[in-house]
A and B are shown apart, each in its own frame.
Chain A
Amino acid sequence: DTGVSQDPRHKITKRGQNVTFRCDPISEHNRLYWYRQTLGQGPEFLTYFQNEAQLEKSRLLSDRFSAERPKGSFSTLEIQRTEQGDSAMYLCASSLDGGISPLHFGNGTRLTVT
């Protein structure tokens, strides 16, 4: 068990640019989640997958955000036309299937939009 891996750890981009983050979950975990966390706040749900199917997406997620998990393994989160308000820590987590399961988080990708 190597844990949840996220890449890159840090990303600095200029407003209006597109960015893409990658998450590799724990290998036997069917579920993969994306959360966003800003300073002093709890993680905010963005979306989650069960295998390759995206089952739920937050209403807070604008059309500029898209996530994929094409083969049910790793996932990517893309933000188009970044805005300064997108600056945050983007956390990926994975869990086992079967109802209520604890989330295992990665170290996150810290995005700074200048």
Chain B
Amino acid sequence: GQQVMQIPQYQHVQEGEDFTTYCNSSTTLSNIQWYKQRPGGHPVFLIQLVKSGEVKKQKRLTFQFGEAKKNSSLHITATQTTDVGTYFCASNAGGTSYGKLTFGQGTILTVHP
């Protein structure tokens, strides 16, 4: 079945440094969603990308969807301690299976002040 692989698994940065997590698939994705889960919390939706080559920005966060729709990235500029958490990409198979959102393993971000 469809799988999305995320790298790296862990990332430790100093506050103010940039951070990037990557999401890759061997198959073409119909869409990609990104979620953030704070320690002890639940996943919270950040953004959704649908179009090939799409780029979206939310303040210091930049999300990209690859031209081939097989990969995506989340880049955070000048990290802050509030960025700490696990970032997940997720996608569904499309067609009649919109409900089954498959999550990547996640990238755990630690920010040292």
* A interface residues, Cβ below 8 angstroms from B: 31, 33, 35, 40-45, 48, 50, 55-56, 58, 91, 99-100, 102-108
> Contact check: which of B31, B33, B35, B99 meets A55 at CB < 8 Å?
B99
B74-113 vs A, Cβ < 8 Å mask (1 yes, 0 no): 0000000000000010101000011111111110000000
Q: How far is the CB of A92 from chain B (nearest CB, A)?
A: 9
The verdict on B25 contacting chain A, using a C-beta distance below 8 Å, is no
- The answer, yes or no, to whether B30 is at the interface (CB within 8 Å) is yes
**A103 cross-chain contacts in B, Cβ below 8 A:** 33, 35, 43, 45, 101
- Inter-chain contact total with CB atoms closer than 8 Å: 56
How close is A97's CB to chain B, nearest CB, in angstroms? 9
Q: Is the CB of B99 within 8 A of A104?
A: no
Cross-chain contact A100 with B48 (CB below 8 angstroms): yes
Q: CA A35 – CA B101 in complex, angstroms? A: 10
Give the complex CA separation of A41 and B98 in angstroms.
Answer: 22
Min CB distance B3 to A, Å, is 11
> In the complex, what residues of B have CB within 8 A of residue A33's CB?
99, 101
Shortest A61–chain B CB gap in Å is 12
Residues on B lying within 8 angstroms of A by beta carbon are 6, 30-31, 33, 35, 41-45, 48, 50, 88, 90, 92, 97-106
- B99 in complex: contacting residue of A44, A50, A102, CB < 8 Å: A50
CA of A58 to CA of B42, assembled, Å: 21
Q: How far is the CB of A35 from chain B (nearest CB, A)?
A: 8
Within 8 Å CB of B92, what residues of A? 100
User: For B101, what are the chain A residues with a Cβ–Cβ distance below 8 Å?
Assistant: 33, 45, 103
Contact A106:B99 (CB < 8 A) given known A41-B106, A42-B88? no
Chain B contacts for A41, CB-based, 8 A = 105-106
Q: When A and B form their complex, which 3 residue pairs have the shortest distance between CB atoms, in order from nearest? A: A42-B103, A48-B99, A102-B45
